[in-house]
Amino acid sequence: MEEKVFSMPRIGEKAPEFKAITTQGDICFPADYEGKWVILFSHPADFTPVCTSEFMTFASMEEEFKALNCELVGLSVDGLYSHIAWLRTIKEKIEFKGMKNVEVNFPLIEDITMEVAKKYGMMMPGESSTKAVRAVFFIDPKGFIRTIIYYPLSLGRNFDELKRVLMGLRTADEFGIALPADWRPGDDVIVPTAGSCGTAKDRMDGKEEGIECKDWFFCMKKLPKEKVMDKILKK
Ligand code: BEZ
């Protein structure tokens, strides 16, 4: 039998376009989000426990993401009325880690045809042929995919990491630097490798103020947390 191949958008590519019905009305994606960052994420199914804990966490952090100029958009291959009933049940009945009465105000896409899920490589038949995996796409204000993270059905996402990724992407863009392992705002950052004409040697000799090199390819500088937050938080 012929094996079905689903496309997988990649980092650095334009986010595939689609029109969809959501719990907050129709959307044209990514056009409706021009000028903003978006976290587009899929969940396997409504009325399931891991997804419920994730939705409550996303909703509780929505203002933190908005403060970083980032909107949330969810998707599953369930229908609109299922989405509405599930979100109402979450608000009325579910308590998790001190969160209760949680209202989900960001759009949740209905994708019963799986058109969007397939376009974004959210279907992974080895894991499930009827449910999307837990995919997370970070899309920048110009509509380019900047980071993709996948989790399986059985493991809920780490929301500290999702926020760290967003802050990291924004910081790298704003300051033209790179960020080392486990970076968090306030940690030292990596300065791009110096070009030609003696700049690398100058750096190694400590002649570039504020830059400390361990070798020609490993140079770091301080970037205070206030400076980072001042740039990436919406004013
Ligand atoms: C959950 O969200 O709990 C879940 C969804 C699909 C498969 C397994 C778990």
Q: Is the pTM higher than 0.85?
A: yes
Measured in Å, residue 24 CA sits from the centre of ligand 1 at: 24
Q: What percent of the chain has pLDDT above 70?
A: 94
Q: Return the pLDDT at 142.
A: 98
Q: Return the pLDDT at 25.
A: 98
Q: Are 117 and 75 spatial neighbours (Cβ–Cβ below 8 Å)?
A: yes
**Which amino acid residue places its CA nearest to atom 1 of ligand 1?**
50
Strand runs labelled E in 111-216? 134-139, 145-151, 189-190, 211-215
Residues with CB under 6 A from ligand 1: 44-45, 48-51, 131, 153-154
Measured in Å, residue 49 CA sits from the centre of ligand 1 at: 6
Type of residue at 37? W
The reply to whether 51 belongs to the active site is yes
Q: Give the tokens for residue 94.
A: 């579910």
Tokens 């390819």 sit on residue: 217
> Worst-scoring range by mean pLDDT, 20-29, 148-157, 203-212?
203-212
Q: Give the tokens for residue 142.
A: 């110009």
Measured in Å, residue 76 CA sits from the centre of ligand 1 at: 12
Nearest to 94 by CA among 60, 65, 64, 66: 60
CA distance 182 to 48: 31
Angle, helices 80-93/49-67, rounded to nearest 10 degrees: 90
Q: Which three-class secondary structure state does DSSP give residue 93?
A: helix
Type of residue at 136? V
Catalytic residue among 51, 70, 213, 219: 51
Q: What is the pLDDT of residues 91-146, one digit of tens each?
A: 999 999 999 999 999 999 999 999 999 999 999 999 999 999 999 999 999 999 99
Q: Return the pLDDT at 202.
A: 74
Type of residue at 176? G
Q: What is the pLDDT of residues 180-229, one digit of tens each?
A: 999 999 999 999 876 666 667 777 777 788 999 999 999 999 999 999 99
Report CA-CA distances (Å) from 37 to 70, 143, 226, 230. 4, 8, 21, 17
* Per-residue pLDDT at 2 exceeds 60: no
Mutate to test the pocket of ligand 1, among 154, 155, 157 (most ligand atoms within 8 A of CB): 154
Q: What mean pLDDT is predicted for residues 52-75?
A: 98
Measured in Å, residue 44 CA sits from the centre of ligand 1 at: 6
DSSP 124: -
